[in-house]
Amino acid sequence: MAAVGSVRRIVAALSVLTAATTMARAEVINDYPTSARAEYVFGCLKANGETRQAIEQCSCSIDIIASIIPYERYVSAETVLSMAQVRGNLGGQFRTSEQAAGALNDLRRAQAEAEVRCF
């Protein structure tokens, strides 16, 4: 009887540990705020037609991107894209910086993977 009680305690402890690990992993994967995901999907819908199929594909796309690059890196790349459109010296710094190019390359690779898997 004592062995059965020990086994139950071990199984319960392992269940709690597994649940905690799964929740921690989900938080890491889901570090993009809902507003950022929605903004991406809205832009994607405009570019791909506003159909039900496009909603599914665009939602899939941001999920894939979020699984490949952390949100902080995504924000950096989006900032580079936005600022590179500014004319003059300020925009030029974003167009020629190695750091900016690295962030853009990461985003483009993630988008390419999302394109293959979702569209």
The pLDDT score that the predictor gives to residue 90 is 76
Integer Cα distance of 68 and 26 in angstroms = 13
Integer Cα distance of 66 and 60 in angstroms = 10
Q: Which sequence spans correspond to the domains of the chain?
A: 1-30, 33-118
Residue type, 105: N
The pLDDT score that the predictor gives to residue 73 is 96
The pLDDT score that the predictor gives to residue 1 is 56
Q: Given its phi and psi angles, is residue 86 left (phi above 0), alpha (psi -120 to 50 degrees) or beta?
A: beta
| Residue ranges, the chain, pLDDT below 50 | 7, 10-26
The pLDDT score that the predictor gives to residue 6 is 54
The pLDDT score that the predictor gives to residue 5 is 54
At residue 88's C-alpha, the angle toward residues 47 and 98, to 5°, is: 70
Q: Residue 97, Cα to own-chain centre: how many angstroms?
A: 24
